[in-house]
Amino acid sequence: MLDTVGFIGLGIMGLPMARNLQRAGHRMVVQSRTAAKAATLVEEGAVAAATPREVAARADVIVTVLPDTPDVEAVVAGPSGVLEGVRAGALLIDMSTISPGVTRRLAARLEERGASMLDAPVSGGDVGAIQGTLTIMVGGAARDFERAKPLFEVMGRHVAHVGGIGAGQVTKAANQVVVGVTIAAVAEALVLGQRGGVPAETILDVLGTGVAGNRVMELKRQKLLTHVFDPGFRAELHHKDLGIALAEGRESGAALPVTALVDQLFGVMKRKGWGGEDHSGLIRVIEELSAQRTGSQ
Amino acid sequence: MLDTVGFIGLGIMGLPMARNLQRAGHRMVVQSRTAAKAATLVEEGAVAAATPREVAARADVIVTVLPDTPDVEAVVAGPSGVLEGVRAGALLIDMSTISPGVTRRLAARLEERGASMLDAPVSGGDVGAIQGTLTIMVGGAARDFERAKPLFEVMGRHVAHVGGIGAGQVTKAANQVVVGVTIAAVAEALVLGQRGGVPAETILDVLGTGVAGNRVMELKRQKLLTHVFDPGFRAELHHKDLGIALAEGRESGAALPVTALVDQLFGVMKRKGWGGEDHSGLIRVIEELSAQRTGSQ
């Protein structure tokens, strides 16, 4: 028999993920800051709960998909939070992208209640969430991973158990480091080409054939060529994720000098008012740093 | 009838490139700092010349494959150089990776003699040179490109005319920016994983499935996992290439903050005595920056 699944956080990622679980036959108890977001799921048979505590009291497995570390802390450990209602033997699966350190601390709090936790951040964006093709990076105990696996297989295509609690978040942070730094690399290459008379299309075509080839150049090609940076993945979220990577590096002792610089550039992008654009719009920062003053000097 | 091809520089790249041209039926006039390197080509019918001037005096097309900017300057414009012997109507094809600015200045000097120049740096390494599968990035006039195309097609698989004189070098510099910065990105991701308890193999497997995917993770996988950094492409050459990119950016007004930082890290790698290792060995620098002092504090 399928578990009752509690689901907290019905945003651009959470809603389609919850819908996929519901369509796979799970009984759903859902909760979101904006109650209206639960409406379509409730029409299809889900129960709406008023608080995370109420979700926890009704479910064997609780999934959280929330924007940032403080949101997960509040939902799990805050007033009317999961910890107040959680059953012994229950499993919390946090699929948000948050701090590995906070993850480990929340897992310890759940353990005190006889419950357990997996961290299972995803990549693949809203399209992957809708299509059930996410990559899911899972940290936690093997028995918990096995228990959650059928749910992951509904929501994702590449599901990897990468280590103990927090390891999923560490892997996601590493992923965001590579994607963010690659975007910066491609941006600098394109600006170097631009100013040296080589069109962006040529740079992308030629570099794509060799060791320089990467998925950022493939997937962001149109955005980089047209300079229309509709998200996609918002730069402000990538900035948040690099903040997580840097905080984790500070805690674990990993030196991340290049990540630190790219984090600064994403910070500039936000302060320019471009934080809502796709992360590939980072090239606008490099272009602005390269622009020559045209008025009086 | 095939041109007589002059070929200057018979190192790890130049020798197999010259051999491929000779096997394709070209009459070769060859010259190298180390005369012995011409021996095998001479056995197969090439003429050995004593100086670049002598090569230029005997050839319609002159190919140079040399380590760095000063080498090309000396071979072309130095004593007994190409400029002293070059015929009107001849074509110099520089396939070294050097400064775009110096390239443009040498092209102007050749033009004064009624000769012309293409810059045609390559990527693909010694394996690509041997197999004739190099990527060749060509800058210069369209008529010169068409004239040289049959030679390029013997030496390479992806041949792209990317713009006017110097544009090949700009494209190669952009390529080296993306490869170098990607290596740094992967290095930081792996060290973050390492210190957070996620094995390198897991990081590479998971990141390879998504937007973080890149050719560096594929091609350097074994080196990164085993920490045996036999070249491959030597770190000291990549450091040279980033120096070219930064000098070009300084001249053209392209801001390259991330490239500048990665250039510093390759500089550290050289000073540690690791410049002869594969460029993917940059991870050793990040690891050393992350290492904790184990003795007395």
Q: Strand pairing partners for B4?
A: B27
Catalytic residue among B37, B172, B223, B240: B172
Chain B residue with minimum CA distance to A178: B185
Nearest Cβ partner of A164 from B135, B178, B197? B197
Per CATH, B4-163 and B170-290 having the same topology is answered no
- Listed by start position, the domains of chain A span 4-163, 170-290
In chain A, the N- to C-terminal Cα span, in Å, equals 74
Q: Is the pLDDT of residue B294 over 90?
A: no
Element (H, E) at B73: helix B69-77
Q: Does B101 touch chain A (CB under 8 A)?
A: no
Q: What average pLDDT score do residues B92-120 get?
A: 98
Q: What average pLDDT score do residues B44-69 get?
A: 97
Asked if B186's CB is within 8 angstroms of A185's CB, the reply is no
Q: Does B175 touch chain A (CB under 8 A)?
A: yes
Q: Is the pLDDT of residue B2 over 70?
A: no
Residue B122's SS3 state is strand
Q: What is the pLDDT of residues A102-113, one digit of tens each?
A: 999 999 999 999
Asked if B259's CB is within 8 angstroms of A202's CB, the reply is no
Asked if A193's CB is within 8 angstroms of B178's CB, the reply is no
Q: Write the CB contacts of B132 (distance below 8 Å, at least 6 apart in sequence).
A: B20, B154, B155, B156, B157
Q: What average pLDDT score do residues A27-42 get?
A: 93
Q: Which CATH fold topology does A170-290 show?
A: N-(1-d-carboxylethyl)-l-norvaline Dehydrogenase; domain 2 (1.10.1040)
Q: How confident is residue A295, by pLDDT bands cut at 50, 70 and 90?
A: low
Nearest Cβ partner of B163 from A198, A219, A255? A198
Residue B91's SS3 state is strand
Q: How confident is residue A294, by pLDDT bands cut at 50, 70 and 90?
A: confident
Nearest Cβ partner of A253 from B135, B195, B253? B195
Nearest Cβ partner of B214 from A177, A213, A265? A213
Q: Is the pLDDT of residue A41 over 60?
A: yes
Q: What is the nearest CA distance from B194 to chain A, expressed in angstroms? A: 8
Q: How confident is residue A161, by pLDDT bands cut at 50, 70 and 90?
A: very high
pTM across the whole model:
0.95
Q: What is the pLDDT of residues B248-273, one digit of tens each?
A: 999 999 999 999 999 999 999 999 99
Interatomic CA distance for residues B244 and A146, integer angstroms: 52
Q: Is the pLDDT of residue A258 over 50?
A: yes
Output the pLDDT for position B179: 98
**Chain A hits for B179, Cβ within 8 Å:** 211-212
Q: Does B164 touch chain A (CB under 8 A)?
A: yes
**Chain B hits for A186, Cβ within 8 Å:** 178
Cis peptide before B166 (omega within 30 of 0): no
Q: For chain A, what is the HEC assignment?
A: CCCEEEEECCCCCHHHHHHHHHHCCCEEEEECCCHHHHHHHHHCCCEECCCHHHHHHHCCEEEECCCCHHHHHHHHHCCCCHHHHCCCCCEEEECCCCCHHHHHHHHHHHHHCCCEEEECCEECHHHHHHHCCEEEEEECCHHHHHHHHHHHHHHEEEEEEEECCCHHHHHHHHHHHHHHHHHHHHHHHHHHHHHCCCCHHHHHHHHCCCCCCEHHHHHCHHHHHHCCCCCCCEHHHHHHHHHHHHHHHHHHCCCCHHHHHHHHHHHHHHHHHHCCCEHHHHHHHHHHHHCCCCCCC
Q: Is the pLDDT of residue A293 over 90?
A: no
Asked if B158's CB is within 8 angstroms of A192's CB, the reply is no
Asked if A265's CB is within 8 angstroms of B196's CB, the reply is no
Q: Does A201 touch chain B (CB under 8 A)?
A: no
CA neighbor of B189 nearest in space, from A202, A179, A158: A179
Q: Please give the C-alpha separations between residue A84 and each of A34, A101, A115, in angstroms, as whole numbers.
A: 21, 22, 12
Q: Please give the C-alpha separations between residue B173 and each of A190, B71, B122, B242, B280, in angstroms, as whole numbers.
A: 11, 18, 11, 7, 18
ipTM: 0.95
Q: Is the pLDDT of residue B295 over 70?
A: no
Interatomic CA distance for residues B297 and B276, integer angstroms: 33
Please state, for a pLDDT cut of 70, what percent of chain A lies above it. 98
Q: Does A245 touch chain B (CB under 8 A)?
A: yes
CB < 8 Å from B in window 5-34 of A: none
CATH class label, B4-163: alpha beta
Q: Strand pairing partners for A278?
A: A234
CB-CB contact of B256 with B245 (8 Å) = yes
Q: Percentages helix, strand, coil for chain B, rounded to the nearest 5?
A: 55, 15, 30
Q: Does B247 touch chain A (CB under 8 A)?
A: no
* CA atoms within 13 Å, Cβ hemisphere of B102: 18
Phi, psi of B59 (to 5 degrees): -125, 150
Asked if B254's CB is within 8 angstroms of A194's CB, the reply is yes
Interatomic CA distance for residues A71 and A125, integer angstroms: 19
Asked if A258's CB is within 8 angstroms of B184's CB, the reply is yes
Interatomic CA distance for residues B20 and B46, integer angstroms: 12
Asked if A177's CB is within 8 angstroms of B206's CB, the reply is no
Q: What is the pLDDT of residues A230-248, one digit of tens each?
A: 998 999 999 999 999 999 9
Pairing, β B91-94 against β B116-119: parallel
Average pLDDT, chain A: 96
Q: Is the pLDDT of residue A207 over 60?
A: yes
Q: What average pLDDT score do residues A63-81 get?
A: 97
Q: Does B216 touch chain A (CB under 8 A)?
A: yes
**Chain B hits for A178, Cβ within 8 Å:** 182, 185-186, 189, 207, 212, 214
Residues of A labelled catalytic: 172
Interatomic CA distance for residues B80 and B99, integer angstroms: 22
CB < 8 Å from B in window 257-296 of A: 257-259, 261-262, 265, 286, 289-290, 292
Nearest Cβ partner of A205 from B160, B249, B257? B160
Output the pLDDT for position B297: 45
- Residue to mutate among A119, A126, A206, with most B CBs inside 10 A, is A206
Chain A residue with minimum CA distance to B207: A175
